Amino acid sequence: MTAESIQKIPKNLRRRKITNSVMISLCVVAGIITILPLIYIFFYTTQSGLSALNADFFTQLPKPVGEVGGGMANAIVGSIILIGIGGLMGIPVGILAGIYISEYSKNIFATIVKFTTDVLSGVPSIVVGIFAYGVIVIPMQRFSALAGGFALGILMIPTVTKITEEMLRLVPQSLREASLALGVSRWKTTLRIVLKTASAGIITGVLLAIARAAGETAPLLFTAFGNSFWQTNIDGPMAALPLQIFVYAISPYDDWHRQAWAGAFVLIFLVFIVNLIVRFVTRNKYSGNL
Amino acid sequence: MVKEIKSRKKLGDIIFENITLIFAFIIVGLVFYIAYEMFIDSSESRDRFGFGFIFSSDWNPVKEEFGALPFVFGTIVSSMLALLISLPISIGVAIFLSEIVHKSVRTPISFLIEILAAIPSIIYGFWGIFVFAPFMRNTVQPMLQSTFGFLPFFKGSMYGTGLLTASIILAIMITPIISAITRDVLKAIPVSQRDAAYALGATKWEAIKMALLNARSGILGGAVLGLGRAIGETMAVTMVIGNKAQIKASLFEPAYSMASVIANEFAEASGSLHISSLIEVGLILFGVTFIINSMARLLIYSVTRKA
């Protein structure tokens, strides 16, 4: 710093202080702008959804156009089946791949897997839908819950992998060393000590993946396809809650809109509860950025 | 005997490591398989139209003419505009949460923003149709037209839905992602740097500005990541963009995006060429998001690795 610039500082101080307050206030405004839509969406959905929510919603089938009432029972069961199929495929892959990245991270391949997982999490869900269409719907020659579940399974993988890896990394190294020092083999240490210690975190990760899959619509449009009737056979087209919400939302009927809001409320409620659990279990340990 | 135990342990370890390796390999294989499958399934369209596919704006399933330009246009404009709106706000929120507020305020607000990221896109779309689009039609668009009506971007009739509405909904959706990454990279910049700035008499904003400059490649990574999300976003955009394959200067006009045309036409596609063309649109979408996400991750790693 030259003598001249030191002299300048006091002269600029007023301007700098003003800049400071303006920029800091702008940041506060940005915070408010971000929160506002959330609060609006949240309250609007709750308000419109709760008033439309009744026992019929959970127990009745959709009624044909013109008849008032009916529910989304088949779509709720359909969503549960689809998530079940997806979970069976996606969760084991996610957890085991997460173990690999965390426990064998010295390996260069682990870095590649970590990178690919990050990239996979950014692949648009509709693209995964096209993939499931090509791999399952075309060979089977019909839309099916299997194809929908397969697509959801792929979408669950990155979330589960990432949180498993992060949770395993949080397990203190001394715990692994203590187990190994007692003569327990490395793989038993990983399964019985490391994985067990991190299990609460991993379970919340799985919950998070399930909550996300429950709201996925795009990949189901041409895989599970939707259905207005009871269908529990996984090789046929199946209803799903978000699909039903989509169909009802873009329809011109008020009663269908009402029911779509009820469905939207159920989804938002699920997301809220799961995120609350994740927050509670992981506290400040986890960045929350997937 | 000692040797025997040692080798037995090793066998178990080898088996376990290889099992996890196989599952890890599934992820890598999957990404390649997705690319391969879509490349094969789009062969009919690629053979027929070649590179002209991206530059032609005729999309007519009846005449079997397929060109993706209007969808590419809609996707690029809506997601770039979304990024333009979202980026300053995201950086502001990140600074607000990491540098300004007390921890007791930070925890609930960052929780709310996490939820914002987790809300299914179908709900944004639904809210977009019934609440946000009418608000745009009645309040925002007339205001913009009366103030900036001389610009070609704000001319024409106001439907509520359209390119601008889709961009704003996208901006709401990607803000949590960009701000979370920005917070992470800001966290990776050593506090001692800011302390040093304060010691030299810097104001709070000047100290933050320096941290932002040092974290710039990571913030850029977050922005690119948000762009990738916006490009691939399907349901919310489909519900508010207006779904009309046209290229107009006005942001009030309805448009169409790559993801939306797939969502709307795939299940009811008429012939194999139509399906194949839609899959080619998906392939372009996959290629673009793949490159964008790779770039974003490398940029983010470059900052957070140092920490």
Read off the pLDDT of residues A19-76 as tens digits, 9 standing for 90 and up.
999 999 999 999 999 999 989 999 999 999 998 899 999 999 998 887 888 889 999 9
Tell me what pLDDT residue A104 has: 87
- Condensed to tens digits (0 to 9), the pLDDT of residues B129-146 reads 999 999 999 999 999 999
Compare all CA atoms of chain A with the CA of B228 and give the residue at the minimum distance: A122
To the nearest whole percent, how much of chain A has pLDDT over 90?
73
Q: How far apart are CA A48 and CA B100, in angstroms?
A: 36
Q: Do A218 and B112 lie within an 8 Å CB cutoff?
A: no
Question: Which residues 6+ apart lie within 8 Å of B59 measured at CB?
Answer: B65, B66, B67, B68, B70, B71, B245, B261
How is chain B split among helix, strand and coil, in percent rounded to 5? 80, 0, 20
Q: What is the pLDDT of residue A288?
A: 44
Pick B290's closest partner by Cβ from A96, A119, A242.
Answer: A119
**3-class secondary structure, B103:** helix
Q: From CA A2, how far away is CA A8, in angstroms rounded?
A: 10
What counts of helices (H) and strands (E) characterise chain B? Answer: 15, 2
- Provide the chain B residues 230-259 that lie in CB contact (below 8 A) with chain A: 231-235, 239, 259
Q: What residues are paired with A238 via a beta bridge?
A: A225
Could you say which residues from 182 to 211 on chain A have a Cβ atom under 8 Å away from some Cβ of chain B?
Answer: 185-188, 190-191, 208, 211
What is the residue-averaged pLDDT of chain A? 90
What residues of chain A lie within 8 A of the CB of B263, using their CB?
A: 126, 218, 221
Containing H/E element for A72? none
Instruction: Using pLDDT thresholds of 50, 70 and 90, give the confidence band for residue A287.
Output: very low
Residue A288 phi, psi (nearest 5): 80, 10
At residue A14, the pLDDT reads: 86
**Superfamily covering domain A74-282:** MetI-like (1.10.3720.10)
Per-residue pLDDT of A104-137, as tens digits, reads: 877 788 899 999 999 999 999 999 999 999 999 9
Measured between CA atoms, how close is A70 to chain B, in angstroms?
A: 20
Strands (E), chain B: 59-60, 65-66
Query: Is the model's pLDDT at B150 over the cut of 50?
Result: yes
User: Three-state SS for A5?
Assistant: helix
The confidence score (pLDDT) of residue B129 equals 94
Q: Which of B12, B96, B119 sits opposite A185 (nearest CB)?
A: B12
CB interface of A with B, residues 22-41, below 8 Å:
23-24, 26-31, 33-35, 37-41
Q: Does B172 touch chain A (CB under 8 A)?
A: yes
Cα-Cα end-to-end distance for chain B: 46
Torsion region of A61: left, alpha or beta (phi above 0 gives left; psi -120 to 50 gives alpha): beta
Mean pLDDT within A153-169 = 95
Q: Is there a contact between A170 and A120 (Cβ–Cβ < 8 Å)?
A: no
What's the confidence (pLDDT) of residue A283?
65
Percent of chain B at pLDDT > 70 equals 96
Query: Which residues of chain B does A211 touch, with a Cβ-Cβ cutoff of 8 Å?
Result: 118
Considering the segment(s) B73-261+286-304 as one domain, its CATH architecture is Orthogonal Bundle (1.10)
pTM over 0.90? The answer is yes
